[in-house]
């Protein structure tokens, strides 16, 4: 155990979960360098945050330049260039009509803001979410989060009027027998109709929140037909459709936002992770006329849209655009799926799925995924799990990762799976 790990274990409580106890000195591109000098290939991006890698020169320059001029003044107290410029730039990328932005500090805070906006703007209270979604761990966001029941263990009652519908995830569908995503989606829509018939009146529903691609829930993309049906439903009942694009946004899926790739425009989007390029930043985005219904002073943030975070986010977007990295995510996804081909016949692999540069390998038990990720780390490659039972390994490389590095990392993982000593399933 390193000295840094020992100090960390002594001072931090057990409530903080850990994928690893790596002790990091610095990051360079897609590589992490530990305190003892070991180089580790990072295929996690700080959980989809460092989308242009660690310490990109343009991002570092933007951060240091901004820090030397103005490190903080609350956006509610004064105006400053990086805050306005990032909002203006973001509005050129978001779906048509989503042209007003409120910044916060994180994804959870963006979700909390979206809950408040949708309830206040509609005058309704009920919110529909989908099983397997992850929206954060603050009180309101945790109420919407259903990827693991552990996230709400021991907390008692959270927000009222939140209803959970099934997400079209064929491998986790209650319908018996093998079936495809479209059949699963049809079943889920029927269950949603039943919910509106028996559990919550349609006229009570303020918003329908969904991740277009489940993040912590397993990297499962909803069929476009399902999202289109939700769009029609929300419009019909007068509810607002909210896309949580915290993990999918800023180029990860092969478009700036997953909704654009899947051809569906929500009423509200929540953003974070890659938005700040490595610094804390979240946002809720909606049409100006909808935002006008959010009463002045009923929401705010001391640090939301901090000058340095905004400068970092703006530089990150510029790198993504100038280096063509949004389109490149498709190539990266294809490459990763190609390199996972040798595992197709593995008896413990259930499925490989992908959308853009979000790739998942689902196994039949977390014993396989956890053993494989540990073995990969021993070989110098960092990957992490997700899924209801941590049975899924997710691959989240920086969008500017070198092709040779990515192939090497994927081959290391494949070898780790093949050589892992895992007990047979019970």
Q: How far is CA 17 from CA 21, 273, 279, 281, in A?
A: 10, 18, 20, 22
Residues 115 and 219 in one domain: yes
At residue 426, the pLDDT reads 63
CATH number at residue 149: 3.40.640.10
Q: What's the DSSP call for residue 158?
A: -
Q: pLDDT digit string (tens) for 373-396?
A: 999 999 999 999 999 999 999 999
163 and 294 part of one domain: yes
Last residue of a domain, one of 322, 343, 363: 322
The per-residue pLDDT for 424 is 74
Reported as half-sphere exposure (CB side, CA atoms, 13 A), residue 57 has a value of 0
CA-CA distance, 320 to 311, in Å (whole number)? 14
Q: What is the residue-wise DSSP string for 328-390?
A: HHHHHHHHHHHHTGGGTT-TTEEEEEEETTEEEEEESSHHHHHHHHHHHHHTTEE-EEESTTS
The Cα 185–Cα 168 span in angstroms is: 5
Q: Are residues 345 and 413 in the same domain?
A: yes
Domain assignment present for 367 = yes
Residues 295 and 333 in one domain: no
Same domain, 166 and 184: yes
Determine the pLDDT at residue 63: 98
Answer whether 0.95 is exceeded by the pTM. Answer: yes
Please tell me whether residues 302 and 246 are part of one structural domain.
Answer: yes
Tell me the sheet residues that pair with 277. 279
**Structural domain contains residue 95:** yes
Please report the pLDDT score of residue 251 as a whole number: 98
Report how far residue 243's alpha carbon sits from residue 95's, in angstroms, rounded to the nearest whole number: 12
Q: What CATH number corresponds to the domain at position 387?
A: 3.90.1150.10
* Domain membership of residue 369 as a residue range: 3-55+328-419
pLDDT digits (tens, 9 = 90+) for 352-372: 999 999 999 999 999 999 999
- In this structure, are 45 and 165 located in the same domain? no
Is residue 426 domain-resident?
no
pLDDT tens profile 77-103? 999 999 999 999 999 999 999 999 999
| Domain co-membership, 80 together with 166 | yes
pLDDT at 179: 80
Number of domains in the chain: 2
Q: Could you tell me if 207 and 281 lie in one domain? A: yes
CA dist 252 and 213 (Å) reads 11
- Identify whether 166 is part of a domain: yes
166 in helix, strand or coil?
Answer: coil
Whose tokens are 């320059």? That residue is 61
For residue 425, being part of any structural domain is answered with no
Span 130-159, pLDDT tens digits: 999 999 999 999 999 999 999 999 999 999
* 196 within domain boundaries: yes
Low-confidence ranges of the chain (pLDDT < 70): 426
Q: Verify that 170 and 307 share a domain, yes or no.
A: yes
User: Final residue of a domain: which of 302, 322, 342?
Assistant: 322
Give domain status of residue 282, yes or no.
yes
Q: Are residue 207 and residue 70 in the same domain, yes or no?
A: yes
Tell me: do 119 and 154 sit in the same domain.
yes
Task: Give 19's DSSP letter.
Answer: S
Q: For residue 412, tell me if it sits in a domain.
A: yes
Q: Select from 299, 322, 345 the last residue of a domain.
A: 322
């Amino acid at each position: 155990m390193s000295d840094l790990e020992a100090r960390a274990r002594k001072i931090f409580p057990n409530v903080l979960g850990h994928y690893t106890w790596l002790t990091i000195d610095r990051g360079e591109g897609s590589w992490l360098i530990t305190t003892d000098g070991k180089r580790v290939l990072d295929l996690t991006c700080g959980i989809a945050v460092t989308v242009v890698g660690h310490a990109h020169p343009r991002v570092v320059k933007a951060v240091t330049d901004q820090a030397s001029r103005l490190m903080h003044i609350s956006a509610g107290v004064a105006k400053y260039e990086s805050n306005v410029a990032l909002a203006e730039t973001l509005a050129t990328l978001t779906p048509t009509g989503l042209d007003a932005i409120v910044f916060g500090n994180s994804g959870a805070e963006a979700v909390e803001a979206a809950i408040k906006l949708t309830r206040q703007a509609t005058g309704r209270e009920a919110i529909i979410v989908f099983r397997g979604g992850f929206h954060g761990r603050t009180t309101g966001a945790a109420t919407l989060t259903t990827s693991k029941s552990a996230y709400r263990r021991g907390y008692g009652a959270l927000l009222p009027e939140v209803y959970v519908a099934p997400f079209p995830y064929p491998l986790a569908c209650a319908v018996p027998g093998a079936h495809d995503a479209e059949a699963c989606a049809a079943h889920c829509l029927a269950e949603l109709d039943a919910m509106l018939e028996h559990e919550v009146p349609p006229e009570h529903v303020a918003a329908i929140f969904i991740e277009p691609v489940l993040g912590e829930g397993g990297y499962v993309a909803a069929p476009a037909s399902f999202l289109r049906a939700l769009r029609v439903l929300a419009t019909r009942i007068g509810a607002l459709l909210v896309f949580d694009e915290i993990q999918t946004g800023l180029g990860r899926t092969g478009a700036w936002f997953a909704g654009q790739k899947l051809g569906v425009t929500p009423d509200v989007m929540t953003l974070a992770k890659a938005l700040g390029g490595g610094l804390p930043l979240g946002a809720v985005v909606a049409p100006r006329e909808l935002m006008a219904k959010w009463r002045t002073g009923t929401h705010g943030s001391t640090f939301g849209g901090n000058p340095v975070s905004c400068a970092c986010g703006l530089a990150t977007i510029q790198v993504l655009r100038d280096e063509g990295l949004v389109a490149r995510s498709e190539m990266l996804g294809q490459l990763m799926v190609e390199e996972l081909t040798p595992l197709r016949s593995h008896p413990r692999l259930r499925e490989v799925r992908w959308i853009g540069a979000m790739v998942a390998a689902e196994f039949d038990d977390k014993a396989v995924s956890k053993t494989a990720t540990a073995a990969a780390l021993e070989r110098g490659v960092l990957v992490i799990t997700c899924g209801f039972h941590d049975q899924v390994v997710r691959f989240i490389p920086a969008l500017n990762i070198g092709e040779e590095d990515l192939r090497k990392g994927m081959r290391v993982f494949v070898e780790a799976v093949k050589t892992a000593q895992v007990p047979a399933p019970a």
